[in-house]
Structure formats: C-alpha cells, structure tokens
Amino acid sequence: MNSIIRTVFAALVVLLSARVHAECVNVRSVGATGNGTTDDTAAIQKAIKSATLASQRGGTVCLPSGDYLITSTIVVDDVVGLRLVGEGGSTRLIWGGDDHSPMLLLSSVQDGEVSNLQIIALATKPLAVGIQSITRAGAKLTSKHNSFVNLLIDGITRGVVKGFQIGGAPGIDSNNDFHLFQNCIVANYAGIAYSLENTQVYGVVFINSLFLGNQSGQIGVATDQNSVKGGTFTWIGGGGGNNQVVDFSLGDPNSGGISIRNAIFEKSARFIRTGGPSGASFLFEISGVRWSGDALADDGIAIDFRFPGPFVIRDSRIGEFSDKALKISWRPGGTTPGVFIFEGNVVKRASSSPLFINQQPTRFADNVIN
C-alpha cells in the first residue's frame, strides 16, 4: 500500500511540475541556449515580452538550468505580477556587458518576483548593479511590493559594484516601496550590497539575507547615496560582514523607522554610521544582534549615530572579539532632547576608556560592560 501511495504522489508531483512549466514562458522556447557563450539577452527579453499582456498583467518567465550570457540590461517595464523564476543554483546569469549598467531593471513593476537564480560577474567584466528597481517617469505604475527570493549576486573577484539598488537614476523619486528580500546573498562586491536610494523607499523588509564583503566590500546596506536621504527598512535574521567602511550607512529618513533584529555581523570596520548631526526624528532599533568587532576601525567607533532618536539598543552583544577601545558615539543635534536607550547588552571594550562619547544614553540599564 505504501508503495502505491508513493507512486501516486510521485505522479502528482510530475503532473504539477509539468503544469507549472506549461503555464510559463520558457526562455529556451524563444531561442535562449544557456550554454554560457551564446548571447541570450534578446531571447530572455523576448520571453518577458511574451509573458506581458497588453493589460499590463504579467505571467511567469522560466529559466531552466544553464549559464545565460547577458550583454545588456534586461528590462521589465510597467507591469503587474510578472515573475522571473530560475532553478536555483543551476540557473546563472553571466554578465558580459558594460561597466555602468544594471543587469536587470525593474521599471515601474508592481507585485513582481525574481527568484531562484544567480547573477555572476567577474572583474574582467564588472557589473554596475545586479538588480535595480525604479519608478519610471511617464509610466502608469509605480514600483512597489516586489519580491526577491533565493537569489545570489556574486562578484567572484569584485566584479559587482552594487548588488541591489532600489531607486536612483534614471528613475524618479516616487513610491518605490514595500519590497521583500528573502534568503538573498550579495557576495564579493566592490561597493554596496543593498542600496536604498530614494526618499520614497519605505517599508523594505530583509529576511534571512546576507552581505558578504569578503575583504573587498565597502558597505552592506546604504540609505544615504541620494542627497544623503534614503529609505527605511527592517532587517530580520541573517547578517554579514567584511566591509571596509561600515555595515549600515544611513541617511535621513522622511518617515518611518529602521530596525535590525536577531542577526550576526562580523569583521567590519564599523557597525552603524549616519549623516548629521540633525535635529530630525529618527526611530532606530537594534535588538538581539551580535556585532563581533574583530575588524574595528582604528578610532574604535563602532556606532556613530547623529540624530535625536529615539535610538534603542537592546539585548545585543557588541565587540566581543575586539582588541581596541570600542566606542559608541551619540550626537543628537538640534534643540529637541534626544532619546537613547541602552539596556540588556553585553559589550567588550578592551579598555578602561569611556564606552560612550559625545553624549551619554538617556537610559542605561542591566548591561554587562567588560
């Protein structure tokens, strides 16, 4: 009986798989080869066009296992719900284009999905941006609520400058919100792993995602690359490290807050830095985080926060492998009294010098400092 059940179940899986593939536009059916040497850019672009209806509703584009050579930007434009789906690590998009263009541009795309594939670039053919999302001037739709799932963007030998970019030129600063990054990895980048570049980038969520600078990366997540103003996000789980400048470089958000929770970060020069000083309100919470401190910058400043807050650090381990005099700098700016809560943390500072410089926390409780 069990063997019969297994046979029936296997048959159902095959039928479901066949149905899924039957309902997608397979890039192989429109001329893509996936052999790693033939230029597949036009074929993939054709598949995207075939999956996009005149009503601006998108279907699914399937990329079977293979190495697809891409020599210019693939564009998904003004469409709702288009899905670009690979077969995990066996689907690779190999960059062979110029050094100033994105490989994939989502232009005024809503409820789209890019999932289960890898983007690969070498230093011999550097890639400016792996995936960029913009809102295009003149489009009917704004870019929002897109999902990036199970993706690897790998510069191999510093071949990628930015992994993901939300906003920035050639788009307009308008409603580029609520995107999801789940199980995404940016590795071996030369600049920034994830860059949120518009003041209208709100509510981005990272779940179990990573940035792996591997001694070449500069910044893990940046929100200060466009006029020192940028978006807001929540980072949950995952982590990263090996950044020469800082893990999180933050601009002045227009609204909302930033939260980093239950994540692990190692071997970067700094953990947090912001613009400012500024008197603008900036809700920022760190909770359940480990930041190792084993590559701390020579000045010892692990966190440099220059807003009134509310700024909250709770239940975290900071600098446990640092051999320098670790410091936390708070410069709220403005005339409004700031709020800085520091409680339930374990901090190693490797020195008897003060942990806090510029201003002290407004609440300091239940910490272990050694």
How far apart, in whole angstroms, are the C-alpha atoms of residue 218 and residue 241? 10
How far apart, in whole angstroms, are the C-alpha atoms of residue 121 and residue 250? 27
How far apart, in whole angstroms, are the C-alpha atoms of residue 119 and residue 104? 10
**What mean pLDDT comes out for the span 125-145?**
96
Predicted confidence (pLDDT) per residue in 199-234, tens digit: 889 999 999 999 999 988 999 999 999 877 888 999
Indicate the range of 85-99, 238-252, 339-353 predicted with least confidence. 339-353
Predicted confidence (pLDDT) per residue in 298-357, tens digit: 999 999 999 999 999 999 999 999 999 999 999 998 888 899 999 999 999 878 889 999
How far apart, in whole angstroms, are the C-alpha atoms of residue 38 and residue 89? 20
From the list 180, 100, 176, 172, the residue with the least C-alpha distance to 148 is: 180
Q: What is the DSSP pairing of strand 252-253 with strand 66-70?
A: unpaired
pLDDT at residue 11, as a whole number: 43
Domain membership flag for residue 292 = no
Domain membership flag for residue 175 = yes
How is residue 2 written in tokens?
Answer: 């069990």
Element (H, E) at 11: helix 2-22
From the list 132, 77, 148, the residue with the least C-alpha distance to 100 is: 132
What pTM value is reported for the model?
A: 0.93
pLDDT at residue 197, as a whole number: 92
**Band of pLDDT at residue 22, cut at 50, 70 and 90:** very low
pLDDT at residue 279, as a whole number: 85
Q: What is the DSSP pairing of strand 210-222 with strand 239-250?
A: parallel
How is residue 106 written in tokens?
Answer: 């989502």
Number of folded domains that form the chain: 1
**What mean pLDDT comes out for the span 64-92?**
98
Domain that residue 198 falls in: 25-268
- Count CA atoms closer than 13 A to 221's CA, side-chain side: 25
- In the chain, % of residues over pLDDT 90: 82
Domain membership flag for residue 333 = no
CB 109 within 8 A of CB 146: yes
How far apart, in whole angstroms, are the C-alpha atoms of residue 95 and residue 162? 14
Angle formed at CA 114 by CA 159 and CA 156, multiple of 5 degrees = 15
How far apart, in whole angstroms, are the C-alpha atoms of residue 40 and residue 45? 9
Mean residue pLDDT of the chain comes to 92
Domain membership flag for residue 55 = yes
Domain membership flag for residue 152 = yes
At residue 157, does pLDDT exceed 70? yes
CATH of the domain at 143: 2.160.20.10
- Only one residue has tokens 């670009």, namely 84
pLDDT at residue 19, as a whole number: 39
Domain membership flag for residue 276 = no
**Band of pLDDT at residue 253, cut at 50, 70 and 90:** confident
Indicate the range of 16-25, 200-209, 232-241 predicted with least confidence. 16-25
**What mean pLDDT comes out for the span 30-56?**
96
Predicted confidence (pLDDT) per residue in 282-305, tens digit: 999 999 999 999 999 999 999 999
Residue 312's alpha-carbon distances to 24, 136, 266, 284, in angstroms, are 47, 36, 21, 6
Domain membership flag for residue 280 = no
Domain membership flag for residue 200 = yes
Query: Beta-carbon neighbour count of residue 299 at 10 Å?
Result: 13
